[in-house]
Each structure stands twice: as C-alpha cells, then as structure tokens.
Amino acid sequence: LGCGLDTRIFRVDPPPWVDWFDIDYPEVIELRRKLYPSRDHYHLIASSVTEPGWLADVPRNRLAIVVAEGLTPYLPADEGLRLLSRLVSHLA
C-alpha cells in the first residue's frame, strides 16, 4: 500500500501462485508503468488507499501479507483505522 517506486516485487520475485497488488495514486502508478516492466500475477491499482472501492480488485479470503511502508504518516488516524478494518474484513 502506497508502493511509490518501491522495487520489492522485483527483488522478492514471488512464485507464480502469489498474486501481488501494488497501490498508489494514479500519477504514481502511471510513472511505475513507464519505468518498470509488467509481469504475470502482478497488479497495479491506481487509487487512494482511502477509497473503499479498490479492494474489489483484490480476491477475498486469500491469505495475504500487507506491506504499507512509509504510508501511515500520510493518513489521518481515522482513515488509517478504517483502512485497517476494511483489510481485516476482506482478507483471510
């Protein structure tokens, strides 16, 4: 969440049974698309994390690791808590 230009997807190089979702504001995702190659099972979501709709693109009830490095300082506390609550409800 709030992936910025982080290259973790390429450094971790997850196996094909892992679906990986990176989300950030549309202008950041547009820049990522220009700079980095696409790959199978890798999904970019162009949205604010505070918009509830983006989770519809993420499968429900799959085991998940959520990484939000450097994101929470940008979120008002109530938005951050709502985000965590939506994630816990959506994911296994």
Tell me which stretch binds ligand SAM (CB under 6 A): 9-17, 33-41, 44-52, 84-92: 44-52
How far apart (Å, rounded) are the C-alpha atoms in residues 86 and 89? 5
Our finding on whether 9 is near ligand SAM (CB under 6 A) is no
Would you say the C-alpha torsion 74, 77, 78, 80 has a positive or negative sign? positive
How far apart (Å, rounded) are the C-alpha atoms in residues 51 and 1? 12
Tell me which stretch binds ligand SAM (CB under 6 A): 14-22, 33-41, 43-51, 84-92: 43-51
Q: Residue 16 or residue 83: which is nearer to ligand SAM going by CB?
A: 83
In whole angstroms, the minimum distance from the beta carbon of 20 to ligand SAM comes to 14
- Looking at residues 57 to 76 of the shown chain, list those that interact with ligand SAM (rule: CB under 6 A): 69-71, 74
> Radius of gyration of the chain from Cα atoms?
13
Selected from 42, 50, 82, 86, the binder of ligand SAM by CB under 6 A is 50
CB 47 within 8 A of CB 53: yes
